[in-house]
Amino acid sequence: MKTLTITRPDDFHLHVRNGAILKTVLPHTARQFARAMIMPNLKPPVITVTQALVYREEILQAIPDGVNFTPLMALYLTTATTIDDIQQAAQCEHIYAFKLYPAGATTNSDAGVADVTKIYPLFAALEKYDLPLLIHGEVTDENCDIFDREHVFIERHLIDIVKNFPCLRIVFEHVTTKEAVQFVESTSNKIAATITPQHLLFNRNVILAGGIKPHYYCLPILKREIHRKALVKAAISGNSKFFLGTDSAPHYTHLKENSCGCAGCYSAFGALELYIDAFESENALDKLEGFASFYGSDFYGLSRNVETIMLEKIDWQIPASYDDLIPLKAGEVLHWKMI
């Protein structure tokens, strides 16, 4: 029997929602990961420390008995966020970051920021308190082609943000293009990026060729093969600027299979196994542990986990659904399984 043992990983980009769906998805993540950075794009969004603490309690209630899991809370940046909010967040041991959604970029981003330059004073406060800024890096300009929205965001906004706030720690979330990889590689060690399993495993053909497949639709949207290859190269490079963030984003089936379907892939059920398939096909299993278990916690200044987990090389079929959620690669075979 072939096995792989690695330090227990963390997921630095996760949506768990609230209410009934949280109870389905959270056990999946808590089984594999020690900690996860919880995205704040609920309805209404998680803007204040008080809201985050209430949400955190709801998450703690959903952790199965005997499982050790720590939610790391991120707050949603809005134009109404104040410097005082940031100071309070910096003093709260459960808040680890602020998330910037350009208004209209994705699910529940209406409360996001339309003009990024308007919140420069908030970036200055984040820099001062050394709280990381997590960025959904896509422009929302209607005239910008959806496949170009990430690299245009770099040119229009990210270059200036990095220049103006050289000590601000930034995570460029769920990077999807070779331009984003190059940008992260060429900037200071204050800038890192998360990479999702779907962006390592698929290019945009999977959504559109041979019929439209809504369960592969997420934002930023999957790109051309040349971009997928650049992401794989970054993930297996051993460069500590790139680390695991699944962006597992559950939506009920009827909201995905809809004439205006929601963006998001549900991957938490087997996130690690999805990543392993991507690493193994490049003969890079030895690079998985750094990416999954070390580089993210190092970037955030958290201690590395000490427990280990074990995976066995065995084929298994992903179920057609988990309750009313269709998982990524539903019905297909994965080659490793956590035991």
Residues that bind Zn ion (CB under 5 A): 247
Taking the complex as a whole, the smallest distance from the CB of residue 174 to Zn ion amounts, in Å, to: 6
Residue with tokens 């916690």: 297
Nearest by Cα to 7 from 244, 172, 317: 244
Using H for helix, E for strand and C for coil, what is the string for 38-102?
A: ECCCCCCCCCCHHHHHHHHHHHHHCCCCCCCCEEEEEEECCCCCCHHHHHHHHHCCCEEEEEECE
CB closer to ligand DOR, 33 vs 252: 252
Decide if 180 contacts 154 (C-beta within 8 A).
yes
d(CA 107, CA 218): 10
From residue 193 to residue 232, the character string flagging contacts with ligand DOR as x (rule: CB under 6 A) and all else as - is: -------------------------xx-------------
The catalytically annotated residue of 10, 247, 277, 315 is 247
- Asked whether position 107 contacts ligand DOR by CB under 6 A, the answer is yes
Angle, alpha carbons 195-139-42 (nearest 5°): 65
- Asked whether position 297 contacts ligand DOR by CB under 6 A, the answer is no
Q: How many CA atoms lie within 13 A of 11 on its CB side?
A: 30
Q: Are strands 133-135 and 95-100 parallel, antiparallel or unpaired?
A: parallel
247 is catalytic: yes
d(CA 142, CA 235): 31
Taking the complex as a whole, the smallest distance from the CB of residue 246 to Zn ion amounts, in Å, to: 9
Residues in binding contact with ligand DOR, number by CB under 6 A: 10
CB closer to ligand DOR, 107 vs 194: 107
Q: Which of ligand DOR, Zn ion, none interacts with 106 (beta carbon under 5 to 8 A by kind)?
A: ligand DOR
Which of 72, 111, 249, 271 forms a contact with ligand DOR (CB under 6 A)? 249
CB closer to ligand DOR, 6 vs 38: 38
Q: Which residues are catalytic?
A: 247
Binding site for ligand DOR (CB under 6 A): 15, 41, 106-107, 136, 218-219, 249, 263-264
